C-alpha cells in the first residue's frame, strides 16, 4: 500500500508568486511591523478607531461607489463568481467597504462623528512597476458625519502627521476642489467646449474620456495632452458659492495650522465619489509613481450606499510606497528587540528539560530559542551567536545531576552556574 501511494505521487512542481505580488520576507518584516506600529500610534493620537472590513465584497458595491467609468472598475478589478453564483470582487480600495460597514452597522447612530482607520491589502490588475503592484497594502482614514472644512483639515493633517512621525519632511501636499453636483457638470461642459477644437491632438484614452469623464483629461500624463490642457479653464475658478466658501476655509485652516500646500488644478483623482476637497501627497523620492497618499471629501457616497445622508472625508495611502521612501531616507525602527535566551541542551534527557524550561520562561514573558537539530555544543553556541542571543543556557548530563545550568552571557562571555529553580528570577534581574 505504501509503495502504491508513493507511485501515485505527482511530479514535484515549483511555483512562483503571481505577477504584481510580493513576499515580505522575515528579514524585512521587522521594518514593516515597526512602521505599522507607528501608523497605529498616530491614528490613536488623533482619536481614530481601527476597522477591518472583509477582503472581498459584492462587485456592485465597488461599481457603484468607485464609479463604472473609472479605470479601477472598468479594467482593474479582480472579480469572480463564487459557487453560489454571487459576483464578488477582491477590494481594490477600502473606503467602499468601510462605508458599507458604517451603513450596515448603523455606526452613524452611535455617535455624531465616526473617525475610522484601516490597514490592509487591496488588489488591482494594473501593470506592475516600481511602486505599483497588483496586491498592495493601504492604510487610510475616514471621518464620517462632518461637513465642516475642519474635518477636511483633520484628514489632511493626520496623513501629514503619519509621514512626519517617520521624520519624513520632504513631501508636497497638492490641493484642489472638484466641486459638487451644482458646479461640476457646468464645468465639465466648459472644459469640453475648450477641448473640442483640440480633440484631435489628445491621446486615444483622453479622446475616449472626452464625453463621459473629461476631468480625467486634466491629469493625463501624456505630454501632448498636458500641452492642450495647460491653459484650460480651472475647476477652482468655476466653483459654486458654497464650494468656494468651503475651499477658502480649508485653505485658511491649513495655513492656520502651519500646513503647507500647493494648489493643483490637474488633481482630479481617479475615483468618482469625491466632492469638493481633493488632495494628494507626493514625494520626489518615488519616481513615476510619486503619490504617497490621496484623499478628499465624498459627501454623497454614504447616501448612495443606502445610508442616511452623511458628509465624509478621508484618505488612502500606499504602504509599499511609504516603505520605499523610508528606505531612501534611512529610517531605522526604534523598537528594541527583546533579548534572546538560547537553550542549548546536550543529549535526550537535557532536551526533555529544555522543553519544560522553555515553556516556563516563555510564560514569564521571555524570548526563548532552542536548538532543534540536536547539535553539539560548539554548533549550538555558533547558532546562538548568529541569532545575537543575549544568553546561552547550557545543560548536559552533569547539569541535570546538579540541577544547575551553565548560563553564558554572550556579550561578556562570562559563565555562571544558576540553579534550575532560580533561572526565571535570574533572567528577570539580568536581562530586562
Note the residues at the interface with ligand AMP (CB under 6 A): 93, 124, 126, 131-133, 136, 138, 270, 291-294, 316-318, 320-321
Kindly tell me which of 74 and 387 has the beta carbon lying closer to ligand AMP: 74
CB of 354 to ligand AMP, least distance (A): 45
Kindly tell me which of 292 and 400 has the beta carbon lying closer to ligand AMP: 292
Kindly tell me which of 43 and 406 has the beta carbon lying closer to ligand AMP: 43
- Residue 75: exposed, middle, or buried by beta-carbon count in 10 A (0-12, 13-18, 19+)? exposed
Residue nearest to ligand AMP (CB): 318
CB of 124 to ligand AMP, least distance (A): 5
CB of 79 to ligand AMP, least distance (A): 16
CB of 302 to ligand AMP, least distance (A): 18
* Positive/negative CA dihedral, 244, 247, 248, 249: positive
Kindly tell me which of 219 and 228 has the beta carbon lying closer to ligand AMP: 219
Kindly tell me which of 65 and 310 has the beta carbon lying closer to ligand AMP: 65
CB of 194 to ligand AMP, least distance (A): 26
Kindly tell me which of 72 and 405 has the beta carbon lying closer to ligand AMP: 72
Rounded Cα distance, 75 and 70, in Å: 8
Kindly tell me which of 286 and 366 has the beta carbon lying closer to ligand AMP: 286
Kindly tell me which of 38 and 343 has the beta carbon lying closer to ligand AMP: 38
Kindly tell me which of 270 and 396 has the beta carbon lying closer to ligand AMP: 270
CB of 136 to ligand AMP, least distance (A): 4
Rounded Cα distance, 113 and 100, in Å: 16
CB of 315 to ligand AMP, least distance (A): 8
CB of 128 to ligand AMP, least distance (A): 8
CB of 295 to ligand AMP, least distance (A): 7
Amino acid at each position: 500500500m505504501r509503495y502504491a501511494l508513493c507511485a501515485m505521487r505527482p511530479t514535484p512542481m515549483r511555483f512562483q508568486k503571481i505577477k504584481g505580488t510580493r513576499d515580505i520576507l522575515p528579514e524585512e518584516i521587522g521594518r514593516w511591523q515597526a512602521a505599522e506600529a507607528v501608523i497605529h500610534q498616530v491614528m490613536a493620537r488623533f482619536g481614530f478607531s481601527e476597522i477591518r472590513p472583509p477582503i472581498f465584497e459584492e462587485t456592485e458595491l465597488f461599481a457603484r461607489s468607485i464609479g463604472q467609468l473609472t479605470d479601477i472598475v472598468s479594467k482593474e478589478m479582480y472579480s469572480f463568481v463564487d459557487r453560489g453564483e454571487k459576483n464578488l470582487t477582491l477590494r481594490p480600495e477600502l473606503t467602499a467597504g468601510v462605508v458599507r460597514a458604517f451603513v450596515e452597522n448603523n455606526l452613524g447612530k452611535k455617535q455624531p462623528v465616526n473617525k475610522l482607520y484601516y490597514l490592509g491589502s487591496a488588489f488591482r490588475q494594473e501593470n506592475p512597476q516600481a511602486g505599483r503592484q497588483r496586491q498592495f497594502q493601504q492604510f487610510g482614514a475616514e471621518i464620517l458625519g462632518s461637513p465642516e472644512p475642519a474635518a477636511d483639515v483633520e484628514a489632511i493633517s493626520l496623513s501629514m502627521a503619519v509621514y512626519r512621525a517617520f521624520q519624513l519632511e520632504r513631501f508636497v501636499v497638492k490641493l484642489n476642489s472638484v466641486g459638487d453636483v451644482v458646479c461640476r457638470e457646468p464645468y465639465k461642459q466648459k472644459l469640453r467646449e475648450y477641448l473640442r477644437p483640440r480633440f484631435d491632438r489628445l491621446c486615444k484614452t483622453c479622446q475616449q474620456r472626452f464625453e463621459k469623464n473629461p476631468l480625467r483629461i486634466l491629469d493625463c500624463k501624456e505630454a501632448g495632452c498636458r500641452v492642450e490642457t495647460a491653459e484650460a479653464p480651472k475647476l477652482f475658478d468655476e466653483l459654486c458659492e458654497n464650494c468656494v466658501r468651503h475651499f477658502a476655509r480649508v485653505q485658511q485652516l491649513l495655513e492656520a495650522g502651519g500646513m503647507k500646500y500647493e494648489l493643483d488644478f490637474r488633481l482630479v483623482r481617479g475615483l468618482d465619489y469625491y466632492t469638493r476637497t481633493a488632495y494628494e501627497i507626493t514625494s520626489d523620492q518615488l519616481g513615476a509613481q510619486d503619490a504617497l497618499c490621496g484623499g478628499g471629501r465624498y459627501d454623497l457616497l454614504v447616501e448612495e450606499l443606502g445610508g442616511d445622508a452623511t458628509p465624509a472625508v478621508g484618505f488612502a495611502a500606499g504602504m509599499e510606497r511609504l516603505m520605499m521612501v523610508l528606505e531612501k531616507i534611512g529610517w531605522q525602527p526604534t523598537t528594541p528587540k527583546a533579548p534572546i535566551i538560547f537553550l542549548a541542551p546536550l543529549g535526550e534527557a537535557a532536551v526533555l528539560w529544555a522543553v519544560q524550561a522553555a515553556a516556563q520562561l516563555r510564560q514569564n514573558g521571555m524570548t526563548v530559542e532552542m536548538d532543534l537539530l540536536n547539535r553539539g555544543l560548539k554548533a549550538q553556541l555558533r547558532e546562538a551567536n548568529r541569532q545575537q542571543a543575549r544568553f546561552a543556557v547550557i545543560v548536559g548530563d552533569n547539569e541535570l545531576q546538579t540541577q544547575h545550568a551553565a548560563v553564558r552571557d554572550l556579550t561578556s562571555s562570562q559563565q555562571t552556574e544558576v540553579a534550575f529553580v532560580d533561572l526565571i528570577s535570574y533572567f528577570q534581574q539580568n536581562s530586562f
